[in-house]
Structure 1
Amino acid sequence: MTSTTRRPDPVPDIPASLFVDPAVEARWRGRFTAARVSVPDWARDAPHHSVYSSNATGTWEIYAWDRESDSHRRVTDRPQGTRGGAASTDGTAIWWFDDTDGDEFGVWVREPFDGDADAEAVPAVEGAAPGYPAGLALGRRTVAVGWSTDDGSTLAVSDDGRPARVVYTHTEDAGIGALSRDETLLAISHAEHGDSRHPAIRVLRLADAETVGERHDGDGKGLDPIEFAPVEGDQRLLVGHERRGRDELLIWDLATDTETELPIDLPGDLSGGFYPDASALLVAHTRAGRTTLHRYDLASGELEDLPTAAGSVGGAEVRPDGTVEYGWSSAAYPSSVRALRPDGTDTELLVPPGDRPEPSVALEDAWVDGPGGAVHALWTRPAGTTGPVPTVFMIHGGPQAADEDRWSPVRAVWVDAGFAVVHVNYRGSSGYGSAWRDAIEGRPGTTELEDVAAVHEWAVTTGLADPEACVLEGWSWGGYLTLLGLGLQPERWAVGCAGVPVADYLAAYEDEMEPLRAFDRSLFGGSPEEVPDRYTGASPLTYVDAVRAPVLVLAGENDPRCPIRQIDNYLEALAERGREYAMVRYDAGHGSLVVAETLQHTVAEIAFARRALGLPVPA
């Protein structure tokens, strides 16, 4: 649904600059505009052909990289950017998802790897219907693709380029998991039991779409089909499980229908993937907002620590020669794509064009007593400051995500602008075990805000935060918690900045993409028709009368996750009550892939907050 005629919203006064000092202005803008690249994906049978994403042109697009000639080609060129791509198994084609203006609804297309500027993308799978993407697996002869619509999920395969044949469909959420190397088996994730937050696994025989294996660990315990062993004839499937209250790994051998849980002696949450010869796993271990990498030998059980710097790893894969390519950053140092070779040397793999951004400040840890246990917070303050300062509480989205010790130009410019920054890994966050992640079920929103309140108290009582100058800020689920917090905790917050938020939960459920409806049903314990009081109690619109602080909202007109109508409803309610607010609308979806737009949004937030707090803002 879309908005009908309504009163125009006030727009914020966005200054041309944030700082009087031109050197400081250049520094913070340079952190945003510096080119970045993603960890490359490569063609299995032609590993010199790689695909990656970059914002080098100012918009995130897909690039082809021929490693033998070290030549790079921009593949996509779309006004709102392109979210991700993959290389075909033989390296002759590039796949990317073609949606409209960031609405995430579309089809997979492909074009030649060695194409030129005039190359045209064509639908990649004949017979695949438009929808929201629900997974993709590329084989030599077989392609598995999934999509979802308001009618549910559909998973299909295409053999040797023939039209897609449906192998699975259901009204509940489902997705492509993994394709066996011999392309006879397909592992899928499904929520036929009604809980998409804790899915089950089914393995289908592709010849006839019959089930050859099923695993469901029961209430509150999800399973994730990660990857089949990358060896012909090997039917071992790597699976993520949470049987002991954290993310761990097991091997399910479909040939014998036996499981082997892997006793990896690390305290945090684990994820992983096979080495190319399937003799070992590359394991990523996440704990307290930081990541370490390890090699786990499947025969001996030996765990080898891989030498990476302290910080966060975003994506890691093993090349045929054993080199681990991974993305790394920390709060102090900008992101880089690196290559850790078998001899132990660690070098930068893909060096983006242009100047590198200047380093920023490091994050410190705090463990704060909260109503559900110790809450992990990460924080920093402007260099040289003592005593209470204006403080922005940057609340992450998800909610199944976490703030980590990673690079953030947004955090850096808030610090440059004189604010302390506090991140809260509230109940609902990933990386702290299943019980912590699932503690919000049945009572979302209010549970997270209890933890935010505990960290707010800590920040004030320790002398970090000025209690009269605390800003609540976040995007997506963080934007939702921002609006909810302004209504439930009005005494704590002087300003609120909410990007792409849920604002009216009942209207959001009506308009959002079906996978998110399934997520909400799992989170709330039913639909709005089944548990209306839970949705009403968790909706920011319910508490709009209590809002005191000025509110800035930023939202995309084409957002399928937090649709615009429900945001309009909330803004209309603010206007009717005479509350101070401003609105930034942009022509994209759930966030922007255009660097200049992201930069503009950040300027709008900081200028709005500084004006609301009575702090100077350059003209």
Structure 2
Amino acid sequence: MTGAKSESRTPDMPEMPDWEKRFRAPRVSLPDWAEDAPDRSLFVSNATGTYELYAWDRATGGQRQATDRPNGTTDGILSPDGAWIWWFDDKDGDEFGVWRRQPFAGGPDETAVPGLEPSYPAGLGLARDGRTAVVGRSTDEEGSTIHLARAGEDPVEIYRHRESAGVGDLSHDGSLIAIEHTEHGDAMHAALRVLRPDGTPVADLDDTKGGTEELGLEVLGFAPVDGDTRLLIGHQRRGRWEPLVWDVATGEETDLGLELPGDVSAEWYPDGSGLLIVHGFEARSELFRYDLAARALTRIPTPPGTVSGATARPDGSVEYLWSSAAEPSAVRSTSGGVVLDPPGMKCPPSVPVEDAWVDGPGGRIHALIQKPAGTTGPLPTVFDLHGGPTWHDSDSFAAGPAAWVDHGYAVIRINYRGSTGYGRAWTDALKHRVGLIELEDVAAVRDWAVASGLADPARLVLTGGSWGGYLTLLGVGAQPEAWTVGVAVVPVADYVTAYHDEMESLKAMDRTLLGGTPEEVPERFEASSPLTYVDQVKAPVYISAGVNDPRCPIRQIDNYVKRLEARGAVHEVYRYDAGHGSLVVDERIKQLRLEMEFAGRHLEL
């Protein structure tokens, strides 16, 4: 196919296509480090072919694999003293389980909090004494609960509510606990409460009250100093996310007043004197240091692209995980060089991303485009829709889109209404006409891509995972003439059944988005459900789903597939033994290969 890359071979690389190498090449996450033992770090890697947690002793250079499960492990945290690795143990990706821990240097795992039944995790705070934990939990029966657990004692419940809540942070001296809650019933906009360890309240901050619009808050972290009652939080008072410092003892709020477009997040420098600022705007990001005493902002040089994580070290250096659409991710440091470079096969690069701005019914839509080098349209084109919906695509490295490009496709990713990074109004625009609003933006970009000569209207693939998979099934039904093939990965297919089967925190989100339950607003669930439009589907449809998925459960997908079967519609279904996606590299490669083969057959490529 025109634009496809050759399959070269070098002595250190097995013979395989570049798209597969991008999945197999060892990669690492940004290392987390223990506050009181900064030489002890924890990171995630796929080095064995499955994403697992790794312990790294920076003083000796020693690394070891800390977890080893068939379906992988990514949810872990170091205790502040660096003595323990806590990790969440669920069953085959169902996200329902318990916290376990093991010594940093190695040893048997043990139940971290005896006496707590399995649940969905809702935050975790570990005290410096190594004996105290604040554990957030969520279950369908109990709603949200938070427990204080001390070694050798039974855990004590200090918070409970039917609506979603979770642990935000534990103060440096362990005397204060910050939680995010949605007791007001809006799962998209949290309020904050600070508790003492006995559960008594210290302070509340709620931006959902007293105004015409509900605004959200988020916990970014307590100041890392004993006795310091300053809490760094994120707010939306000026129509975007930005940080302020809230002294929970006095109630004083210090707004940084940063004049940066787009969303702004922050974390503390280890001595509490400044903040590490992460600024995201129009699908790129950059770093700054903010000096609290001087109220001065200083840019930290980083290459153009996306910083997907950053942390300030005790020596004042900053480590950050960076990539661009063309260049694979790397953990870099402002002190120079790559911090953590896994051995083995190196990840092949891809092509740069191009920006397009398209006028849509709700405002200008930002689209990111990749296409095979040297090609001109019209090209077979993949519209790859991101999940979330409160997420966004960025100029960052992604093996999936790069694989489609290798096979001769143009790939267009769209930050439709509901995406983050373009202001609160853009993110909050979804309510009540869920799915249909996003598809209006997708349709506008599709029409632009065809009219511009980039996309071949007879060879258009609509695809995505999670919320993107939901939009794919909704799109091939609600816009049947627009798409040639649909490839839906872990999708919502039958919104009513999905609501009844999904985890409680997602039920709360759906009630917020749609304005109630399926029984209270049946017409909205019907209008937003792919099942409603299944009889209008004309395009061949491919669906992949995890049988243990608590977010997009398998029963509602089976309901949709039965309707396709009854019509004799062209479709294929692939079910695999995991949850909301797989952490096994071979499985990821298999899934993408099947998706591309399905599309290629039906586009006659």
CA distance in 2, matches of 1:22, 1:553: 32
Give the aligned partner of residue 342 of structure 2.
Answer: 352
1:201 aligned to 2:189?
no
RMSD: 1.2
TM-score (norm 2): 0.96
CA contact (8 A) 2:128 2:173 kept: no
TM superposition shift of 1:19:
8.2
Superposition pairs of residues 565-584 of structure 1, within 5 angstroms: 565-584=555-574
Give the aligned partner of residue 114 of structure 2.
Answer: 126
TM superposition shift of 1:570:
0.3
TM superposition shift of 1:160:
4.7
TM superposition shift of 1:220:
2.3
Decide which moves more: 579-588 or 317-326.
317-326
Give the aligned partner of residue 445 of structure 1.
Answer: 435
CA distance in 2, matches of 1:22, 1:240: 48
CA distance in 2, matches of 1:399, 1:371: 18
CA distance in 2, matches of 1:27, 1:506: 41
Give the aligned partner of residue 12 of structure 2.
Answer: none
284, 287, 307: which is aligned to 1:293?
A: 287
589, 594, 601: which is aligned to 2:579?
A: 589
Secondary structure at the aligned position of 2:302 is classed as coil
40, 46, 56: which is aligned to 1:49?
A: 40
456, 469, 482: which is aligned to 1:466?
A: 456
CA contact (8 A) 2:372 2:405 kept: yes
TM superposition shift of 1:205:
1.4
Give the aligned partner of residue 144 of structure 1.
Answer: 134
Give the aligned partner of residue 65 of structure 1.
Answer: 56
Give the aligned partner of residue 522 of structure 1.
Answer: 512
Give the aligned partner of residue 256 of structure 1.
Answer: 250
1:163 aligned to 2:137?
no
CA distance in 1, matches of 2:313, 2:375: 46
The one-letter code of the counterpart of 2:112 is: A
CA contact (8 A) 1:286 1:292 kept: yes
1:304 aligned to 2:298?
yes
TM superposition shift of 1:161:
4.8
TM superposition shift of 1:591:
0.3
Give the aligned partner of residue 523 of structure 2.
Answer: 533
**Unmatched tracts of structure 1, length 5 or more:** 1-17
TM superposition shift of 1:26:
2.6
TM superposition shift of 1:445:
0.1
Deviation digits for residues 60-109 of structure 1, max 9, x if unmatched?
A: 00111111110000011100000221111211111100000010000110
CA distance in 2, matches of 1:300, 1:223: 26
CA distance in 1, matches of 2:556, 2:326: 38
CA distance in 2, matches of 1:202, 1:291: 30
CA distance in 2, matches of 1:294, 1:349: 19
CA distance in 2, matches of 1:96, 1:315: 20
CA contact (8 A) 1:129 1:147 kept: no
CA distance in 2, matches of 1:288, 1:21: 34
Secondary structure at the aligned position of 1:377 is classed as strand
CA distance in 2, matches of 1:129, 1:317: 33
Give the aligned partner of residue 493 of structure 1.
Answer: 483
CA contact (8 A) 1:394 1:424 kept: yes
Secondary structure at the aligned position of 2:225 is classed as coil
1:420 aligned to 2:394?
no
CA contact (8 A) 1:131 1:148 kept: yes
Give the aligned partner of residue 604 of structure 1.
Answer: 594
Deviation digits for residues 211-269 of structure 1, max 9, x if unmatched?
A: 11011112420110110000011100001000111001111101211111111121110
TM superposition shift of 1:34:
0.1
Deviation digits for residues 410-430 of structure 1, max 9, x if unmatched?
A: 111101101000000000000
CA contact (8 A) 2:265 2:278 kept: yes
Deviation digits for residues 427-456 of structure 1, max 9, x if unmatched?
A: 000000000000001111000000000000
CA contact (8 A) 2:203 2:249 kept: no
Decide which moves more: 124-133 or 493-502.
124-133
Give the aligned partner of residue 96 of structure 2.
Answer: 105
Give the aligned partner of residue 4 of structure 1.
Answer: none
Superposition pairs of residues 202-217 of structure 1, within 5 angstroms: 202-206=193-197, 208-217=198-207
TM superposition shift of 1:601:
0.8
Give the number of aligned pairs: 590
CA contact (8 A) 2:7 2:18 kept: no
CA distance in 1, matches of 2:288, 2:29: 21
Secondary structure at the aligned position of 1:192 is classed as coil
The one-letter code of the counterpart of 2:259 is: D
Decide which moves more: 313-322 or 54-63.
313-322
1:456 aligned to 2:450?
no
173, 180, 188: which is aligned to 1:189?
A: 180
The one-letter code of the counterpart of 2:272 is: A
CA distance in 2, matches of 1:28, 1:120: 38
TM superposition shift of 1:397:
0.2
CA distance in 1, matches of 2:242, 2:26: 35
Secondary structure at the aligned position of 2:204 is classed as strand
1:509 aligned to 2:499?
yes
CA contact (8 A) 2:383 2:463 kept: yes
Q: Which has the higher contact order (CA 8 A, sep 6+)?
A: 1
Give the aligned partner of residue 393 of structure 1.
Answer: 383
Decide which moves more: 457-466 or 353-362.
353-362
Give the aligned partner of residue 261 of structure 2.
Answer: 267
The one-letter code of the counterpart of 2:525 is: Y
TM superposition shift of 1:22:
6.0
Secondary structure at the aligned position of 1:598 is classed as helix
Secondary structure at the aligned position of 2:349 is classed as coil
Secondary structure at the aligned position of 2:366 is classed as strand
Secondary structure at the aligned position of 1:368 is classed as strand
TM superposition shift of 1:20:
8.2
TM superposition shift of 1:25:
4.4
CA distance in 2, matches of 1:556, 1:353: 31
Aligned structure 1 segments of 4 or more residues deviating by more than 4 angstroms: 18-25
The one-letter code of the counterpart of 1:400 is: T
TM superposition shift of 1:352:
0.9
CA distance in 2, matches of 1:19, 1:612: 22
The one-letter code of the counterpart of 2:432 is: G
Give the aligned partner of residue 94 of structure 1.
Answer: 85
Secondary structure at the aligned position of 1:554 is classed as strand
Secondary structure at the aligned position of 1:198 is classed as coil
Superposition pairs of residues 275-354 of structure 1, within 5 angstroms: 275-341=269-335, 346-354=336-344
TM-score (norm 1): 0.94
- In percent, how many aligned pairs have the same letter? 57
CA distance in 2, matches of 1:128, 1:300: 46
Secondary structure at the aligned position of 1:478 is classed as helix
**Unmatched tracts of structure 2, length 5 or more:** 10-14
